[in-house]
Amino acid sequence: MRDADDNQTSRTPPLGASAQAPAHVAIIMDGNGRWAKARGLPRTAGHKKGVDAVRRTVEAARELGVGTLTIFSFSSENWRRPEEEVSDLMGLLRFYLRSEVAELHKAGIRLRVIGERARLSDDINRLIDDAETLTGANRTMTLVVALSYGSRQEIVAAAKRLAEDVAAGRLSADAIDEQALSGRLFTADLPDPDLIIRTSGEKRISNFLLWQAAYAELVFVDTLWPDFTKRDLEAAIDEFHRRERRFGATTASTR
């Protein structure tokens, strides 16, 4: 985790043979519904095409050398969508967990799921447990699926755990700091995202990794998620490399 007072300044070159991909890329996958509507199709068709985009993006991220890829799959607020749409999304999730995990494992990709797992059905939780166990030792890349996830809820839950530890005498109130709270988030064992991408032209982060995104670079692209390709990912990473990352410090040119 990076300290807020880190004075390191870094300039990274444009994407190319000598440039490294960001260690952690996170993506807010948006636009499935609009993709389907534009074609006169039901929203389910957009979600199905979105799964194809996930497959392409995971492979592209692995090829580009991304260490951790996090995808915002289903938010806490998405439970308020029509029951039929939620049911279709859960069906797609089951299909993905049953059909894709073997390929992830073969590619050396570790799967992690973060979010409020208690809200998911028992069979989905079993599939997740089996997938995390199967891929747990893989090191080529970590794929994090944010599922039934909301960042405010995550932070509140972490604060409650801190309060419980203080009340039980396991932790002094004076010992509560950024590291203590970070260690109680779903992402405690993961690096903070370097780059967050949102598709579909919307320019907000929608309750996604609020704590972890403190120093992330944000890139918003117009492409609807089902149309997202390796070229779009490369373009976002190229934009990332053109940014000057100061982590709160200043340089002579910006004073």
Residue 41's domain is classified under what CATH number?
3.40.1180.10
Question: Does the active-site annotation cover 30?
Answer: yes
- 225 is known to lie in a ligand binding site: no
How many residues does the structure list for the chain? 255
Q: Is 62 within any annotated ligand binding site? A: no
Could you state, in chain order, the average pLDDT of each consecutive group of 10 residues for the chain (255 residues)?
37 50 97 97 96 97 98 96 95 94 98 97 98 98 98 98 98 97 98 98 97 98 98 97 78 49
Q: Residue 80 has what DSSP assignment?
A: G
Q: What pLDDT sits at residue 10?
A: 39
Q: Is 174 a catalytic residue?
A: no
Residue ranges making up the domain that contains 48 = 21-149+186-241
Mark residue 121 as left, alpha or beta (left: phi above 0; alpha: psi -120 to 50; beta: remaining): beta
Q: Kindly state the DSSP code that residue 23 receives in the 8-state scheme.
A: S
Instruction: Tell whether pTM > 0.85.
Output: yes
- Say what the pLDDT of residue 246 is: 74
| Local structure of 72: helix, strand or coil | strand
pLDDT of residue 250: 60
Of the candidates 201, 191, 192, 246, the one whose C-alpha atom is nearest the C-alpha of residue 225 is: 201
| 77 assigned to a ligand binding site | yes
Active-site residue identified among 5, 78, 129, 238: 78
Q: Which amino acid is at 90?
A: M
Inside any domain, residue 252: no
User: Residues 3, 5, 7, 30: which is the catalytic one?
Assistant: 30
85 carries a ligand binding annotation: no
Does 60 reside within a domain? yes
Q: Is residue 165 part of a domain?
A: no
How many Cβ atoms are within 10 Å of 93's Cβ, its own excluded?
21
Q: Does 216 fall in a domain? A: yes
Q: How open is the CA angle 213-73-61, to the nearest 5 degrees?
A: 70
Distance CA 72, CA 149 (A): 8
The alpha-helical segments, DSSP class H, found in 139-227 are 151-167, 178-182
Residue 77 CA, chain-centre distance (Å), reads: 16
Domain count, the chain: 1
Helix (H, G, I), strand (E, B) or coil at 145: strand
Residue 205 in any domain: the answer is yes
d(CA 25, CA 66): 7
Cα 173 to Cα 193: distance, rounded to the nearest angstrom? 28
Residue 212: inside a domain, yes or no? Answer: yes
Alpha helices for 80-190 (secondary structure H)? 83-99, 101-106, 122-135, 151-167, 178-182
Task: Examine residue 6 and state whether it is found in any structural domain, yes or no.
Answer: no
β-sheet bridge partners, residue 113: 145
Cα torsion 162, 165, 171, 172: sign: positive
Structural domain includes residue 158:
no
